[in-house]
Structure 1
Amino acid sequence: MRIIWIVLLSTLLLTASSHHEDITKQAIVKIYTTSKIPNYQEPWNSSMRSSTGSGAIIEGEYILTNAHVVANQAFIEVQRYGQRKRYIAKVYAVSHQADLALLKVEEKAFFEGVIPLTFGSLPKVEQKIVVYGYPMGGNTLSATIGVVSRVEHHVYAHSGEAFLAVQVDAAVNPGNSGGPALSDGKIVGVVMQVITKSQNIGYLVPVNMVQHFIEDMKDGTCDGFADLGLGTQKLENPAIRRYYGLDDNVSGKLIVKVVHNSSVSASLQEGDILTAVDGHNVENDGTVEFRNHEYTHYQHYVDAYQMGETVKLDIIRDQKKMQVEAPLEHVADDMYLVKTTRYDTMPKYFVYGGYVFSPLTRNLIVSTKLNRLKLSYLASKWQEDDKSEVVVLLKVLASDMSRGDNDFAMWPIDKINGEPFKDFEEFYQKMQAAKSEYIVLEDNDGVKVIIDKEEAQMKQNAILKKYNIEFDKSIDLRK
């Protein structure tokens, strides 16, 4: 009799488990995206691309997925597990910083009979997870099982910014992006990226980042994750510690740069020692303990707050302990000289007599191998009071007036007619307003490109027609 009861109980447990898994699968979505991909080397051109990804239905009739699954989207369709009909979807909110997006479907029939997935907590190392999605290799739903390998800051490939990430060993492949990683039936992360040429090293956007994003967009605007605008240096060297009078009981990071337009420019200064963020001790390598014996970048406790809130910073200045409140008002894009990777917009440009100009973006840098060293150096710099954007001579369209200049490409410009400029818009205005016979462009090494203004204006239309360029400038400048 006892054997019969054990068998019966086992059968009931298996049935309940199978039923629970079936309910979970009902919330998994396949996403079909048609995207308009900008050509940063020919900014007047674009191409169309089709791709697929994964997502999950969550509370509020939202579909949670990656930003990169729907980036540059022109048309989106979604399909539920076990159904063949596709429904039109639209992007409701997106954070390219955190590689997250929420989609909406207007047809209520899409959500009939589905139980939305709920959120768990940040998973621990060795915790088991199940990854659901629609990866390459087939058309039906895939489920792979793995464990959490580590939790720490990692660069998000989509934005190039570093945030907390969960590394897992579950098999993750193209098409899995945006799919949920579940533990005990609850979302603990969203599949984000893999390391190519590795053995099952995948990364999730952790659940705390997802919840931050969802809370952020409730007012209809995605403000993003704040950046303090600080350049810091490790304090592990004994000599530098003695120089600043630090004993063995004090740890932190040396502030070596405060960006002029950051929200802490009035309260922090170069030479301060950052010792704690939100009450959490900053180690000499810049990490903080976020769980027992687990460390990650101190930015973790800044990312926990929403834009517009404040975070407390403990510092040492002239060997005196102080505490300041840092208002969170800016994202990294507000302070870096070169903007982070752009999506959902066409590149800015204008053509002047066959000379093509554009602001320097990370999209532009990765689109070419030309002048990569110098451009990458510029991408690491902060804005200054008189310089907020780099302008490059993108290329020179061959013509009789540009002979000898055709080798100029991805060339940073520092002056126009001897005058510096702050950004692309000011550069454009100076080009249009120039009254001299020649326009002289110059880099910081004194190399010059000289354009005959009258000849450029006279031959502009013929050059545009020759290269099949419909507009001589991007839509933002045409407005």
Structure 2
Amino acid sequence: MPEHMMPAVQDDGQVLTPFMDAVVKVYCVHTQPDYSLPWQRKRQMTSTSSGFIATFNGATCLLTNAHSVDHHTQVKVKRRGDDRKFVARVLSLGVDCDVALLTVEEDEFWEGVTPLTFGPLPRLQDAVAVVGYPIGGDTISVTAGVVSRIEVTDYTHGSTDLLAIQIDAAINGGNSGGPVINAKGECCGIAFQALTGNDVENVGYVIPTPVVNHFLNDYDRTKGFTGFPALGMVWQRMESEALRRAYHMAKGQKGKGSLNPTSDAANVLQPDDVLLSFDGLEIACDGTVPFRTGERISFSYLISNKYVGDECQMTVLRKGEVHTVNVKLSKPHQLIPPHINNRDPAYFIVAGLVFTPVSEPYLQSEYGAGYSTEAPVRLLDRLFHTLPKNGDEEVVVLSQVLACSATLGYEDVYNVQLLKFNGEPVRNLRHLAELVVGCTQPFMRFDLDYNELVILETQAALRATADVQTSHSVPHLCSADLRKSGLAWPPTASADIAAESSVQPK
């Protein structure tokens, strides 16, 4: 560690550094959703992590990682050298960038603290120190290292690709949310994840200040978190000479092909457009743009610097002709979302059939950490390769079948996508609920993936729905978001259901 980063020693022998008093220990009680039984939550668990007090745009703020307070029911923080824990409130949760903004109502917590200031993006080989409260002890810990790499990296918690700093200082459990300090005593980022494995040692990752500033600016503008924008398209590299000639790219032209644009980009981009530049910066055939002297970085870095609703100017090659277009950046919408933004899972129960939208946390809950290989192939195809056709489309699955008189013979059906209800394609869970509530036919027909079929007698299903609620101790037969929308379920079984139906069981 450079000499000017070494701690000063007072006459009484106490070690004191200017930045240590701004680092806090975070105590959190988590109550995670139970995706298998979405009407309840799992047993609560506790965790400890790190956080710090910093100044931003003249205001003092308290920051930690989003995963440190994920699905929190109680958050407390303790300053260095203090024996009191103060109750904290989460103001904003940036799941995408793994940053959370907290506050403490008691003035005592803020007294006498010198907030950290944010420094610039460090250079390679710059010395840094990770400060926090990792496992292995109760007191503050300082670990020294250097900057090894700066590039766009996968943020594990939010399943987002954003700029990150790789360092060779160890980031252990409990370090999450702590500041990473440069040689000037400035905060150059937040420790948030580490690479583990038999062949890996001391590979830690830091959320850099540009990403943190984006999160804080977003909160200043919206008093919430709108996320990082996306172009709304899928692209591929244009490194093949044959591919470049087929798209009439001139010698020296660079770019990459865009496929199946979605979202607002669909209004101005076309399939097979070749992207040449973004806001005046030339995009290379491998999808990179100039970053700093002698460095290149994925062009998605330019998109992540903007905000949802911003516009960008793009130059595209379309059928051999160069066009300049303005594209409005929108919030990313994935068919299977990477997270549910700290909400409870949505669900809908009819008879013993439990329906829920698929998310990555749902897949992880059902199939473990290896869900990317263990989950059903059709669901993985929706996750990795399928784009939504409209903004409200969801993958709704029959999660499980609760035993009841109306569902005899269907007990072994689980985690299969629902495609149609009584012949009508199902767009999302709310659409399914509306179709079921409004059903006037004698039979309810659920067409599932893999050509599976579930048919229930409507009257029997309505009667069984109330029985299921009692026998399985289900407090509500649909999730809070559906109830708030005015959905009345279950309705009273009625004898006015039509005697004949165009949808008959086969």
Q: 2:7, 2:148 → 1: CA distance?
A: 28
The aligned residue for residue 54 of structure 1 is 50
Deviations 1:41-84 (A, max 9, x none): 11012121111111110122311111111111111110011111
Equivalent residues of 2:347, 2:429 under 8 A apart: no
Q: 1:246, 1:477 → 2: CA distance?
A: 51
**1:336 Cα deviation after fit:** 1.5
Count how many residue pairs are aligned between Structure 1 and Structure 2: 464
Alignment of 1:320-399 (within 5 A): 320-328=321-329, 330-332=330-332, 335-369=333-367, 371-380=375-384, 381-385=386-390, 388-399=393-404
Alignment of 1:21-420 (within 5 A): 22-47=17-42, 48-59=44-55, 60-183=59-182, 184-197=184-197, 198-219=200-221, 220-259=223-262, 262-328=263-329, 330-332=330-332, 335-369=333-367, 371-380=375-384, 381-385=386-390, 388-420=393-425
Alignment of 1:421-436 (within 5 A): 421-436=426-441
Equivalent residues of 2:348, 2:429 under 8 A apart: no
Equivalent residues of 2:194, 2:204 under 8 A apart: yes
Q: 2:438, 2:301 → 1: CA distance?
A: 47
**1:468 Cα deviation after fit:** 2.1
The aligned residue for residue 455 of structure 1 is 460
The secondary structure found in structure 1 opposite 2:481 is: helix
The secondary structure found in structure 1 opposite 2:436 is: helix
Tell me which amino acid in the other structure corresponds to 1:50.
T
Q: 2:121, 2:278 → 1: CA distance?
A: 20
The aligned residue for residue 496 of structure 2 is none
Q: 2:290, 2:173 → 1: CA distance?
A: 33
Equivalent residues of 1:387, 1:421 under 8 A apart: no
The secondary structure found in structure 2 opposite 1:74 is: strand
Tell me which amino acid in the other structure corresponds to 1:391.
V
Equivalent residues of 2:346, 2:481 under 8 A apart: yes
The secondary structure found in structure 2 opposite 1:368 is: helix
Q: 1:130, 1:248 → 2: CA distance?
A: 47
Equivalent residues of 1:386, 1:421 under 8 A apart: no
Equivalent residues of 1:276, 1:313 under 8 A apart: yes
The farther-off stretch of 361-370 and 169-178 is 361-370
Q: 1:254, 1:424 → 2: CA distance?
A: 34
The TM-score with structure 1 as length reference comes to 0.93
Equivalent residues of 1:81, 1:141 under 8 A apart: yes
The aligned residue for residue 442 of structure 1 is 447
Tell me which amino acid in the other structure corresponds to 2:422.
N
The farther-off stretch of 83-92 and 315-324 is 315-324
Equivalent residues of 1:72, 1:343 under 8 A apart: no
Distance 1:340 1:94, change over 3 A: same
Q: 2:292, 2:14 → 1: CA distance?
A: 35
Equivalent residues of 1:181, 1:189 under 8 A apart: yes
Q: Any unmatched runs of 5+ in structure 2? A: 368-373, 485-506
The farther-off stretch of 313-322 and 47-56 is 313-322
Q: 1:443, 1:432 → 2: CA distance?
A: 19
The aligned residue for residue 4 of structure 1 is none
Q: Any unmatched runs of 5+ in structure 1? A: 1-9
The TM-score with structure 2 as length reference comes to 0.88
Moved over 4 A (4+): 13-21
Q: 2:394, 2:468 → 1: CA distance?
A: 28
Q: 2:230, 2:119 → 1: CA distance?
A: 27
**1:206 Cα deviation after fit:** 1.0
Distance 1:159 1:84, change over 3 A: same
Question: What fraction of aligned residue pairs are identical, expressed as a percent?
Answer: 32
**1:337 Cα deviation after fit:** 1.3
The secondary structure found in structure 2 opposite 1:53 is: strand
Equivalent residues of 1:61, 1:111 under 8 A apart: no
Deviations 1:428-472 (A, max 9, x none): 100111111111111354321112221122122322222222221
**1:241 Cα deviation after fit:** 0.8
Tell me which amino acid in the other structure corresponds to 1:326.
V
Equivalent residues of 1:256, 1:270 under 8 A apart: yes
Distance 1:199 1:96, change over 3 A: same
Distance 1:24 1:254, change over 3 A: same
The farther-off stretch of 100-109 and 193-202 is 193-202
Q: 1:387, 1:347 → 2: CA distance?
A: 16
The secondary structure found in structure 1 opposite 2:461 is: helix
Q: 2:414, 2:375 → 1: CA distance?
A: 8
Equivalent residues of 2:8, 2:16 under 8 A apart: no
Equivalent residues of 1:365, 1:375 under 8 A apart: no
**1:124 Cα deviation after fit:** 1.6
The farther-off stretch of 46-55 and 439-448 is 439-448
The farther-off stretch of 211-220 and 465-474 is 465-474
RMSD across aligned positions (CA): 2.1
Equivalent residues of 1:393, 1:413 under 8 A apart: yes
Tell me which amino acid in the other structure corresponds to 1:134.
Y
The secondary structure found in structure 1 opposite 2:216 is: helix
